[in-house]
Amino acid sequence: MTATRRERVTLALAVWGVLVSQVLLYPGVADLVSALGGSGDISAGMLFLVAEFAAFVTFASVWGAASDSLGRRTPLIVVGALGGASSYVLLAVLASLETSFSVALAVRLFGGAMTIGAFSLAITMLADLSGGNGRNMGAAGIAIGLGAALGSVVGGRLTTLDPLAPLYAAAAVLVGVALLVATVPDRSPDTVRVGIGTVLRKLAARPAFGVPYAFGFIDRMTAGFFALVGVFYFRETFGVDAAVAGAVLALFFVPFALLQYPFGSLSDRVGRFRPVVLGSMLYGVAIVAVGLAPTFELAAGLMVVVGVFGALVAPATMALVTDLAPAGERGAALGGFNVFGSLGFLTGFVVGGVVADVVGYLPSFLVVGFAEVAIAIVALRAVKRLDSLGETQRSVTAD
């Protein structure tokens, strides 16, 4: 195995570990929130998830600035992973002390501020590698999908044993991430700080980035929707427990993960237009179909279809960002994509949670699913134009 491939595998494992730790909590979020002093309903679950992603958005710029100042990424990933691990342990301690839910939310803010450093900088280091942007982003995508798949299954089963068990497991995984990344040779980051102000200035100067950022926002919104509303939907509508709800989430995440790399490589060959536009339309329709399914078996089976179409879109969208970015600005471009993605997660939690709580589950599926279809229709011509511009920059080379 070449050095580049070893680094790609190691960094992908780091991304995988961060997602495992994060998603371990999702299937049993109602039980965990109750143990931490919350009400255990969808509103409290929404606050619990929103706190982490609010920190993601806020502190992505802090990690970018620190990376610029130090001229290093590896030690920052280690610090972020260890900080995230400590936040999970602290939540478990708070549950035993029976403190208020607001204290737990404050710890979630701290954990999110730490974890985003490990996640975002690991993906940026992957983007720095040679071998094709689609291939590298496909590696990131498959890591995200497999991490979420394993986390959802294991987290659901751990919750049935003890609502706090996923916290200890998540902490252990992040410690492992820190140890793993410490073996990766460091790479000097670019000198462009990645903050929301920087991202907005870059969009004003190069509005073309707004197209993949918009797709990233909507795609992550659907992921946030399933992480919160999807779990409550299957548990309340079909009466399943946390273990089954986690397994249903895995029906989405497994195909989403396994197809990321081949679909990312496919987009290197055929371009980004068809995977992004056609994939988004099919993805949105599949989401709506889950909400319309009359039986548990059909709804669960459609989750597989949602995962397939999601895998078609995700790596091509990230690769489109790297196609458009000069080599010296790639880190900032991917950082901006992650900022918009985190905002999308937040929107998925809030919009999905509020609509489901106020109007019902089916309207929430309709809102999120048709948002995915709408962005594909509105941005169709723009994606076609950008795909043509980026065509000369794409190549698939053997390491």
Token pair for 111: 């954990």
Domain 1-184 falls under CATH 3.40.50.970:
no
Q: 288: exposed, middle or buried (C-beta count within 10 Å: 0-12, 13-18, 19+)?
A: buried
Please say whether the structural domain 195-398 has been given the CATH code 3.40.190.10. Answer: no
Q: Are 174 and 85 in contact (CB under 8 A)?
A: yes
Q: Contact at 8 Å (CB) between 261 and 45? A: no
Q: What pLDDT is attached to residue 264?
A: 82
The yes-or-no answer to whether 1-184 and 195-398 have a common fold is yes
99: left (phi over 0), alpha (psi -120 to 50) or beta: beta
H-helix or E-strand spanning residue 162: none
Using CA atoms in the order 14, 209, 396, 189, what is the torsion angle rounded to 10 degrees? -50
Nearest to 365 by CA among 256, 273, 232, 253: 232
Do 264 and 127 touch, CB atoms closer than 8 A? no
Of all helices (H) and strands (E), which one includes residue 182? none
**Longest C-alpha distance within the chain, in Å?**
59
For each of the chain's 399 residues, which pLDDT tens digit applies?
677 788 888 999 999 999 999 999 999 999 999 999 998 889 999 999 999 988 988 887 678 677 767 878 899 999 999 999 999 999 999 998 888 999 999 999 999 999 989 998 888 788 777 666 566 766 777 788 788 889 999 999 999 999 999 999 999 999 999 999 999 888 655 554 555 566 556 656 677 888 999 999 999 899 889 988 999 999 999 999 999 999 999 999 888 878 877 888 888 888 899 999 999 999 999 999 999 999 999 999 999 999 999 989 988 888 888 788 776 666 667 767 877 888 898 899 999 999 999 999 999 999 999 999 999 999 999 998 888 876 655 544 334
CB of 57 closer than 8 Å to CB of 194: no
All structural domains of the chain with their residue ranges: 1-184, 195-398
| Total Cβ atoms within 10 A of residue 399 | 13
**Cα(368)–Cα(237) distance, rounded to whole angstroms?**
18
- Helices 296-324 and 330-358 sit at what angle, rounded to 10 degrees? 150
> What is the chain's alpha carbon radius of gyration, rounded to the nearest angstrom?
19
